[in-house]
Structure 1
Amino acid sequence: MTTIKVEELDQRIFLTHDGQYVGHYKNMVLKSVFQPIYHYDMSIIGLEALVRIHHQNGSMIRPDDFFHSDDTPHHDKINVERLSRLVHIRNFSLSHYRDKKLFLNVLPNAVERLALEVLSCRVLLKTLAQFGISPKQVVMELIEIDANCEAQLQQSTRVLGRNGFQWAIDDFGVNASTQERTERILPHIIKLDRSLLYQFEQGEPDKLLDAIQLARNIGSQIVVEGIETQNQLALMRQLKIDMYQGYHLAMPAPVYTQPIAKLSYG
């Protein structure tokens, strides 16, 4: 099977009996879960959309295994990524936090295609408009996978940025989410991989502090990922990090149709 025509993606999205949208691709069902991202004042600044891939036999496929595996055909990665993005937008529109930021994980190669394929970009913009979401709310998270060409990736982010999309480097400090990529993209947000937090907590602060300095130098905000304890949160707040995300704060859930109690810190 080749890449699905962008105009046919909507035909693979269905509204379930419990009021959520899912995507169907081959023998897989694609569902959305969302994890809040908290501002320094512990208010919710936005939701990160995460795909959950369910095999029709009932088993689950880990998204990281699916997207990182060399055994997964490239066109399957592109199809699932594009389809899940449209599913996430629909489900986000049902959320209590639909006026906040929507963080979407994107493959670098898919970004290049999205910028080059006028129809793909139009379908994305049309879907956002249809469900009442502004492109300015959308933060595209470039995941830590190699691009075909880093220079082309840079140009593609510039092209798409003209439509109002913001950019984030996901899992900074791991694999292709490097200082070099970050300085090319000049993202609005740098999301620090949890490994930097763990190293900091264990008395090895250099990588995390260097990332903070990089963000300040290029004018990016920072999200610390993987906060799983109160101590980790306290350490990051002492550093005046902009935003926080992790299981200690909130677990991923299908759709937040009701407000989450504001976290307090004192």
Structure 2
Amino acid sequence: MSCEKLNFSVIQPEISQSSFDVEFDQTQKTFTVCFGEYSVRSAFQAIVDVMNKPMGFEALARITLTHSCQPVSPYMFFKHLRQQEKANQVLFKIIECHAKSFRHSPFFSPDVKLFINLSPNFFVMLHQVPGLITAIKKMLSEAEIPLENVVGELTECCCKQTKQLSKGLSVMKAENIWLAIDDFGEKCSNMPRYGSFRPNIVKISRKFYLSTLRDNPEKLISIIDGFKADGVHVVVEGVEEPEDFKLLTQMGVELFQGFHFHRPEVVTING
């Protein structure tokens, strides 16, 4: 997950409207979804190989106050959103906004994947709500995003409903959607979760790789080698310095994300 340093205000969302639509903002030339006083647009950050060729883009929510355009902290927005009755509706529409924005952006290509952050609770819901995966497939089809182009990133949040989480992940795997463990080394993104769910991709967090590079580089090499031996793709997040890129390449890392390569970008859509 990107750690872009922006001066966000901290505001608690109160979602009162009954329905939401993803609309095209003619002024800003972006897809936008509005929730009362909040507007959400999609930004994208590249995930690249050693030759700086994108293999995918992570979708990131950029949230502002609708009337003042003042930035709102995504972390605080989603934290408080979980307490709202309509949280699931809001999350679904944000995913739809990401899909439509990506499909109409210059980043889209048939061989490039769209990475979408999804909480453990979302995967639990996939198991508990039978029609949800059908709605997701319909939404992606209407946005003209093939299922095989999508990567669901399981965020580092902990989850007590491990059986339901596992079943929800299986629902997504059955649809040929790739899975990634996000921010490996943080909270519950760890080896037990990796062993339980066997993702297609592991994204190693910036904090974890920097501390391990400093204190125990052999451990980092062993972890990377273990993932690769399982046929899992390894992405290192938050790479900002050329020296880190060089070291990680020497360790066998082949995929990277961070300011050294590409800053998150809200794209404008022409036509």
1:26 correspondence with 2:72:
no
1:52 paired residue among 62, 67, 74: 62
Residues 72/256 of structure 1: CA separation in 2 closer, same or farther (3 Å cut)? same
Displacement after TM superposition at 1:80 (Å): 3.5
1:216 correspondence with 2:225:
no
Displacement after TM superposition at 1:200 (Å): 3.9
Residues 177/128 of structure 1: CA separation in 2 closer, same or farther (3 Å cut)? same
Displacement after TM superposition at 1:3 (Å): 10
The Cα offsets for residues 209-257 of structure 1, whole Å up to 9 and x where unpaired, read as 3431441353311000000111111111111212000011100001287
1:250 correspondence with 2:262:
yes
Aligned residues: 253
Q: For residue 15 of structure 1, what is the aligned residue in structure 2?
A: 24
Q: Is the 8 A contact 2:199 2:232 kept in 1?
A: yes
Q: Secondary structure at the match of 1:247?
A: coil
Q: 1:183-198 residue pairs with structure 2 within 5 A?
A: 183-198=195-210
Q: 1:1-266 residue pairs with structure 2 within 5 A?
A: 8=19, 11-17=20-26, 18-56=28-66, 57-67=68-78, 69=79, 73=83, 75=85, 77-99=87-109, 100-255=112-267
Tell me the amino acid that sits aligned with residue 260 of structure 2: H
- What TM-score results when the alignment is normalised by the length of structure 1? 0.86
Q: Secondary structure at the match of 2:202?
A: strand
Displacement after TM superposition at 1:176 (Å): 1.4
Q: Is the 8 A contact 2:127 2:164 kept in 1?
A: no
Q: Is the 8 A contact 2:186 2:208 kept in 1?
A: no
Displacement after TM superposition at 1:184 (Å): 0.9
Q: Distance in 2 between matches of 1:250 and 1:63?
A: 20
CA RMSD of aligned residues (A): 2.5
Q: Distance in 2 between matches of 1:147 and 1:131?
A: 31
Q: Tell me which moved more, 106-115 or 136-145.
A: 106-115
Q: Is the 8 A contact 1:15 1:21 kept in 2?
A: yes
The Cα offsets for residues 163-198 of structure 1, whole Å up to 9 and x where unpaired, read as 111000000010111111111110000000101221
Residues 192/77 of structure 1: CA separation in 2 closer, same or farther (3 Å cut)? farther
Structure 1 segments (4+ residues) deviating >6 Å: 1-5
Unaligned runs of 5+ residues in structure 1 are 259-266
Q: For residue 262 of structure 1, what is the aligned residue in structure 2?
A: none
Q: For residue 5 of structure 2, what is the aligned residue in structure 1?
A: none
Q: Tell me which moved more, 95-104 or 208-217.
A: 208-217
Q: Is the 8 A contact 1:45 1:101 kept in 2?
A: yes
Residues 131/71 of structure 1: CA separation in 2 closer, same or farther (3 Å cut)? closer
Q: Secondary structure at the match of 1:118?
A: coil
Residues 115/95 of structure 1: CA separation in 2 closer, same or farther (3 Å cut)? farther
Q: Is the 8 A contact 1:196 1:207 kept in 2?
A: no
Q: Distance in 1 between matches of 2:126 and 2:16?
A: 13
Q: For residue 264 of structure 1, what is the aligned residue in structure 2?
A: none
Residues 225/73 of structure 1: CA separation in 2 closer, same or farther (3 Å cut)? same
Unaligned runs of 5+ residues in structure 2 are 1-13
Q: Tell me which moved more, 121-130 or 194-203.
A: 194-203
Q: Is the 8 A contact 1:12 1:25 kept in 2?
A: no
Q: Tell me which moved more, 171-180 or 142-151.
A: 142-151
Q: Distance in 1 between matches of 2:183 and 2:83?
A: 23
- Percent identity over the alignment? 25
Tell me the amino acid that sits aligned with residue 34 of structure 1: F
